[in-house]
């Protein structure tokens, strides 16, 4: 096992001005499951491929343990990679697929068979060892790809969106298996995904990237409860956080007809460049339905109710003359979590109030967290 360190690692593709990965500083602990997450094109897969040796590093260094592997060939880095595409050899059996890397390395046949059988027991693949990949389901093929990585007994596992080709139910089941398997094996793992639900449910820590720049690193709870900036706030959480830019008067944020008081320490951080405004975020579950006209509440006109059985969400329009620009790009749209057994009708107007201490305040100009 080993730690992994990105030290100002940078990758610039030929013909581009902006780095795909820009000065990445990140330390991954021995045995940790770290998830790299972000939108398409943010640099997460490039970071993983730099660690694997599949992409050149144009600046900085990458360490596995105390060893600088920046210029080391991929085969000499002692890593194993699981791709989005299973990349199995169709003419080989499951056992031969899992043991192929060991065969190429000259490992004795008896040891190959032993390692393959051990991995098959862990992954519940024992009865499939003699089958060809075409006789397996998508989830079973992905487990074979996992087994191929496990038998190598590497210092680091690298996983590049391994669940993207699976259906929704199988994806949930397999992500649980991968997370429990990693904890059982204790191998340092870097896992790339664009699915923030996967990130929240699987990782010991999450690293959020955007435009090649690391935005924040922390535990799933830290990322959810205390995002560093507007991007992280809007990206982590499903449904997305309600985020809008509002006027501040006398230390209070004007949200529709409501006034949300700011802590004095936060109000003092509002700069002249902010022009008397702040960006306020509040999650759908941080809104309490109250009686219309209640002090501190604002009205929302119901556009759509999304019923999910155990949960229900109202998608509505904030009443008033304030523009709320959400990450989804819908002006004045808000999302409210409500009691699934008492849902309003489309066109109804409901009043909601933000729970005390459950709002997030950001600079209107920089997007950085205040306070």
Structure confidence at residue 331 (pLDDT): 59
Residue/partner pairs of 176-184 with CB below 8 Å, 24 or more apart: 176/201, 177/123, 177/143, 178/146, 178/202, 179/33, 181/122, 181/123, 181/146, 182/33, 182/157, 183/33, 184/122
Q: Indicate the residue among 233, 267, 282 that finishes a domain.
A: 233
Helix extents (H) in the chain: 44-52, 94-104, 109-123, 138-150, 168-185, 196-202, 220-225, 230-235, 264-267
Enter the pTM of the model.
0.89
Return the structure tokens found at 287. 């809104």
Alpha-carbon dihedral 217, 220, 221, 225, rounded to 10 degrees:
60
326 and 223 in a single domain? The answer is: no
209 and 247 in a single domain? The answer is: no
229 and 244 in a single domain? The answer is: no
Structure confidence at residue 286 (pLDDT): 94
User: What range does the domain containing 71 cover?
Assistant: 4-233
Structure confidence at residue 5 (pLDDT): 97
Please classify residue 366 by burial: count the beta carbons closer than 10 Å to its beta carbon, then call 0-12 exposed, 13-18 middle and 19+ buried: middle
- Strands 213-218, 59-64: parallel, antiparallel or unpaired by DSSP? unpaired
Residue range 228-259, pLDDT digits in tens: 999 999 999 888 899 988 899 888 898 888 88
Contact 259/294 with Cβ under 8 angstroms?
Answer: no
Residues in contact with 34: Cβ distance below 8 Å, sequence separation at least 6, in sequence order? 26, 28, 189, 190, 191, 203, 204, 205, 206, 207
* Pairwise CA distance, residues 148 & 100, whole Å: 8
Return the structure tokens found at 35. 């998830």
Structure confidence at residue 322 (pLDDT): 53
* Helices and strands, number each (H, E), in the chain: 9, 20
Q: Indicate the residue among 213, 233, 253 that finishes a domain.
A: 233
287 and 332 in a single domain? The answer is: yes
* Domain CATH number, residue 98: 3.40.50.300
224 and 245 in a single domain? The answer is: no
* Domain CATH number, residue 339: 2.40.50.140
Residue range 109-119, pLDDT digits in tens: 999 999 999 89
Residue 342 lies in a domain: yes
Alpha-carbon dihedral 98, 99, 105, 110, rounded to 10 degrees:
160
8 and 72 in a single domain? The answer is: yes
In the predicted model, residues of the chain with pLDDT beneath 50 are 326-330
Closest to 40 (Cα-Cα) out of 266, 211, 273? 211
Q: Indicate the residue among 217, 233, 249 that finishes a domain.
A: 233
């Amino acid at each position: 096992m080993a730690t992994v360190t990105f030290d100002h690692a940078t990758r610039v593709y030929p013909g581009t001005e902006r780095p795909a990965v820009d000065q990445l500083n990140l330390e991954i602990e021995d045995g940790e499951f770290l998830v790299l997450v972000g939108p398409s094109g943010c640099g997460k897969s490039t970071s993983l491929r730099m660690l694997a040796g599949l992409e050149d590093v144009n600046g900085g260094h990458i360490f596995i343990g105390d060893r600088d592997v920046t210029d080391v060939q991929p085969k000499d880095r002692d890593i194993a990679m699981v791709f989005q595409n299973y990349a199995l050899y169709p003419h080989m059996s499951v056992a031969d697929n899992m043991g192929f890397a060991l065969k190429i390395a000259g490992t004795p046949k008896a040891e190959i068979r032993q390692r393959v059988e051990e991995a098959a027991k862990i992954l519940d693949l024992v009865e499939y060892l003699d089958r060809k990949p075409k006789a397996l389901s998508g989830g079973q093929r992905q487990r074979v790809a996992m087994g191929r990585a496990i038998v190598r007994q590497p210092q680091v596992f690298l996983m590049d969106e391994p669940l993207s080709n699976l259906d929704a139910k199988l994806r949930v089941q397999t992500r649980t298996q991968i997370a429990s398997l990693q904890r059982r094996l204790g191998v340092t793992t870097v896992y790339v995904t664009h699915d923030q639900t996967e990130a929240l449910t699987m990782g010991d820590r999450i690293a959020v990237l955007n435009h090649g720049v690391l935005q924040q690193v922390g535990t799933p709870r830290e990322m959810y409860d205390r995002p560093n900036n507007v991007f992280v706030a809007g990206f982590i959480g499903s449904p997305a956080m309600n985020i809008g830019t509002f006027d501040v008067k006398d230390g209070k944020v004007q949200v529709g007809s409501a006034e949300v008081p700011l802590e004095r320490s936060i109000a003092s951080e509002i700069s002249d460049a902010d022009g008397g405004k702040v960006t306020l975020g509040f999650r759908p579950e941080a809104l309490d339905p109250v009686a219309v006209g209640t002090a501190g509440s604002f009205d929302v006109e119901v556009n759509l109710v999304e019923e999910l059985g155990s949960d229900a969400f109202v998608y509505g329009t904030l009443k008033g003359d304030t523009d709320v620009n959400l990450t989804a790009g819908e002006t004045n749209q808000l999302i409210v979590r409500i009691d699934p057994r008492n849902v309003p009708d489309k066109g109804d107007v409901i009043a909601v109030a933000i729970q005390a201490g459950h709002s997030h305040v950001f600079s209107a100009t920089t997007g950085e967290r205040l306070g």
